[in-house]
Amino acid sequence: MSRISEKRLMKSAARLYAVQALFQMEHSGQTVDAVRDEFETHRIGAVYEGDEMAEADIGLFRATLEAVVEHQADIDQMTDRALVAKWPIDRIDPTLRALFRAAGAELVASQVPPKVIITEYVDVARAFFPEGREPKFVNAVLDHMAHEARPDGF
């Protein structure tokens, strides 16, 4: 495997882990520090019953979690504007809520091109919802969010 594809896989894994960590934070009430430490110590790259969990770009994982904590109110408001008015963020599936927060954090706090962020998080949605319509929904919502977060970025 080339160094570039290995690096890309580690970034993709970091995004997936960030969504899982945000989901866990919301449902357990744990702090970002506790969840981040748990993932870094016991999940990322760990081996369970012979199955090895993917390695991840720890810097991206940490930066995403921190940006969500720092910008969550703004991200949630941006997500609400991208959703149908009858379905505010607190009424959508908690996995999608975590995904929108992670993607929103990258849109507001990173220099990654919006199209890359959208593609990556649509892939995360496919991992969680392989048979559903959620990936198309995620694509539409993130496209709206990206245009708001970075009007000059397209």
C-alpha span between 131 and 127 (Å, rounded): 10
Q: Are 17 and 24 in contact (CB under 8 A)?
A: no
pLDDT digits (tens, 9 = 90+) for 87-146: 777 788 999 999 999 999 999 999 999 999 999 999 999 999 999 999 999 999 999 999
Tokens of 24: 């866990």
C-alpha span between 88 and 144 (Å, rounded): 15
Q: What is the pTM of this model?
A: 0.91
**Residue 124 neighbours by CB distance under 10 Å:** 23
Burial state string for 63-97 with b = 16 or more CB within 10 A and e = fewer than 16: bbbebbeebeeebbebbbebbeeeeebeebeebbb
Tokens of 45: 């790259």
Q: In CATH, what class is 3-149?
A: mainly alpha
pLDDT for 86: 65
For the chain, what are the domain ranges?
A: 3-149
pLDDT digits (tens, 9 = 90+) for 12-61: 999 999 999 999 999 999 999 999 999 999 999 888 777 788 899 999 99
pLDDT for 37: 97
Q: Is the pLDDT of residue 85 over 70?
A: no
